[in-house]
Amino acid sequence: MKKISETIFVCNNCGNEFSKWSGQCGFCKEWNSLKEIKNYELRITNKGKNSKREKVEVKKLSEIKEEYNTNQNIFSTQISEFDRVLGKGIVRGSVVLFAGEPGIGKSTLLTQLVGKVGGLYVAGEESAEQINLRVRRLGLNAERFDVLETNSVEEIGQILERTNNVYKIVVVDSIQTMLVESTITGTGSLGSFGSVNQIRESTFRLIELAKKTGVAIFVVGHVTKEGDIAGPKLLEHMVDTVLYFEGEKNGDLRILRVSKNRFGPTDEVGIFQMSDVGLSDVRNFNLSGSGEAKIGSAITIVMEGTRPMMVEIQALVTESFAPMPTRVFSGIDTNRGRLLVAVAQKVLNMPMYKHDVYVSVTGGIRLDDTGCDIAILAAMYSSYKEKELKNKIVLIGEVSLLGEVKKVRGWEKREKEAKAMGRTVPIIYSIRELKNLV
Ligand code: TYD
Ligand code: MG
């Protein structure tokens, strides 16, 4: 393998590479997102000009044995929500990027995974003692739980080669604390921890290791709100599977999403609840409280992946004494919120220009589903009128600019979930009908 050192430009947003700088990424069209990376090593499989080329061969698909995706190459995480997100389970020899904000619970869930399946935990951030404490506190099996304290990818390689397939999984926590030693001792330094080059190079080596040994490697990546260049975005196209662990830190709900999966679907989510004994599977998460109607509250059913979930939306609409009324939306898109306020003013004649509006979603989840529009409006209307909505109803529907209410994707599933929860879904065609529901 020949290496050519050169300078490349990598997009902060989508991770694509370019040989020239430009103000806008040619792929994802983001502005000012290209960052320069010096001495990036280009890998070329064929030897240099003068050496003899290996014989090039075409492969016949009919002669290739199905290596992955056969059941013996997939094993369960023994955590049902985790399996659900991965498709069937963990694929041998695959590399999974496990990304999320610091403190969200990545180390907790992956500690639980190693505790259940057995494997090696590579601690780049914490000490073996800290991990031991966590394992004990979570009541996990410490028998098949090994810890390697290191920041060196070469040492991980040594262990995997020496132990020869005793591990089914290896967790590397985190990629930002790993480096490839040979690249910092020789000439042409690739930079220190957390630099783009180290993150890339380390990931590259880990992928090679996974393919060679058949061990499945989970790579932890911290994401920051600013989405800096050393973030996991850069690695997305290298790994087989990309998982994002999300949630509101002061809430207890966590959602595991899959944004790329070479071995399964990408529309599933896993739902977990954080407690002092770690993360537990939540099959039917109900965020709607006891269910008694309250002023300023509306219940809706949101689709998380292919699964319906009941949530409560709360709104507070109060007279404003400021020249510009306040608009605070948490858990819903601000533009969507503003649009609904405008529709309320125009169609329901609510004098929103002189009212402050606060909207929040319980459980700290983020709604990205227009099916919740009507419930948001209903909560605002209820608060404005100071009357509760009718008892035991669930509001589902997208609101148009003219105040019409439309059916949304997953309607049958949502309706079924509402029935299962002992509620009905009134069919309404215009937000004017909200008047009949208070
Ligand atoms: P952690 O898994 O360390 O987050 P990450 O690896 O993503 O940075 O978890 C961070 C928080 O979770 C920490 O503030 C403590 C809390 N926590 C619990 O609430 N319950 C638990 O059982 C554990 C282990 C952690
Ligand atoms: Mg951690």
Q: Is the pLDDT of residue 43 over 50?
A: no
Instruction: Please report the pLDDT score of residue 284 as a whole number.
Output: 59
Ligand 1 centre distance from Cα of residue 109 (Å): 9
What value does the mean pLDDT take over residues 29-58?
Answer: 63
% residues pLDDT > 90 (the chain):
54
What value does the mean pLDDT take over residues 48-54?
Answer: 53
Task: Tell me the β-bridge partners of 241.
Answer: 96, 261
Q: Is the pLDDT of residue 377 over 70?
A: yes
Give domain 297-436's CATH number out of 3.40.50.920, 3.30.70.260, 3.40.50.11930, 3.30.230.10: 3.30.230.10
Which tokens is 378 given? Answer: 């209903």
Instruction: Please report the pLDDT score of residue 307 as a whole number.
Output: 79
% residues pLDDT > 70 (the chain):
87
Mutate to test the pocket of ligand 1, among 104, 108, 245, 272 (most ligand atoms within 8 A of CB): 108
**Ligand 1 atom 2: residue of nearest CA:** 105
Pocket of ligand 1 (CB under 6 A): 100, 102-108, 134, 138, 274, 276-278
What value does the mean pLDDT take over residues 402-425?
Answer: 91
pLDDT digits (tens, 9 = 90+) for 335-350: 999 999 999 999 999 9
Task: Indicate the domain borders of the chain.
Answer: 2-44, 73-281, 297-436
| Distance (Å) of CA 208 to CA 153, 169, 215, 216 | 11, 15, 11, 11
Where residue 431 falls among pLDDT bands split at 50, 70, 90? very high
Given the CA of residue 110, which atom of ligand 1 is nearest to it?
2
Ligand 1 centre distance from Cα of residue 105 (Å): 5
The C-alpha torsion from 119 through 123 and 127 to 129, rounded to 10°, is: -10
Which ligand approaches the C-alpha of residue 272 most closely?
1
Where residue 45 falls among pLDDT bands split at 50, 70, 90? very low
Is the peptide bond prior to 382 cis by the omega test (within 30 degrees of 0)?
no
Separation between Cα atoms, residue 209 and residue 218, nearest integer Å: 12
**Ligand 1 atom 12: residue of nearest CA:** 105
Q: Which architecture, in CATH terms, is 73-281?
A: 3-Layer(aba) Sandwich (3.40)
Which ligand approaches the C-alpha of residue 108 most closely?
1
**Ligand 1 atom 16: residue of nearest CA:** 105
Average pLDDT value for the chain: 86
**Ligand 1 atom 21: residue of nearest CA:** 278
DSSP 309-328: EEEEEEEEEEE--SSS--EE
Q: Looking at 166-175, 208-217, 361-370, which range is the least confident one?
A: 361-370
Q: Looking at 121-125, 179-183, 289-293, 317-321, which range is the least confident one?
A: 289-293
Ligand 1 centre distance from Cα of residue 336 (Å): 33
**Ligand 1 atom 18: residue of nearest CA:** 276
Which tokens is 73 given? Answer: 């190459």
Among 20-29, 224-233, 282-291, 341-350, the range of highest mean pLDDT: 341-350
Instruction: Please report the pLDDT score of residue 5 as a whole number.
Output: 53
Q: Is the pLDDT of residue 9 over 90?
A: no
pLDDT digits (tens, 9 = 90+) for 78-93: 999 999 899 889 999 9
Ligand 1 centre distance from Cα of residue 275 (Å): 9
> Residues 6 or more apart from 192 whose CB is under 8 A from it?
179, 184, 198
Instruction: Please report the pLDDT score of residue 48 as a whole number.
Output: 46
CB 256 within 8 A of CB 279: no
Among 245-254, 263-272, 301-310, 316-325, the range of highest mean pLDDT: 316-325
Q: Is the pLDDT of residue 246 over 80?
A: yes
Helix 106-117, helix 128-137: angle, nearest 10? 70
pLDDT digits (tens, 9 = 90+) for 214-244: 999 999 998 876 655 455 677 888 999 999 9
**Ligand 1 atom 8: residue of nearest CA:** 103
Instruction: Please report the pLDDT score of residue 148 as a whole number.
Output: 96
Where residue 286 falls among pLDDT bands split at 50, 70, 90? low
pLDDT digits (tens, 9 = 90+) for 106-130: 999 999 999 999 999 999 999 999 9
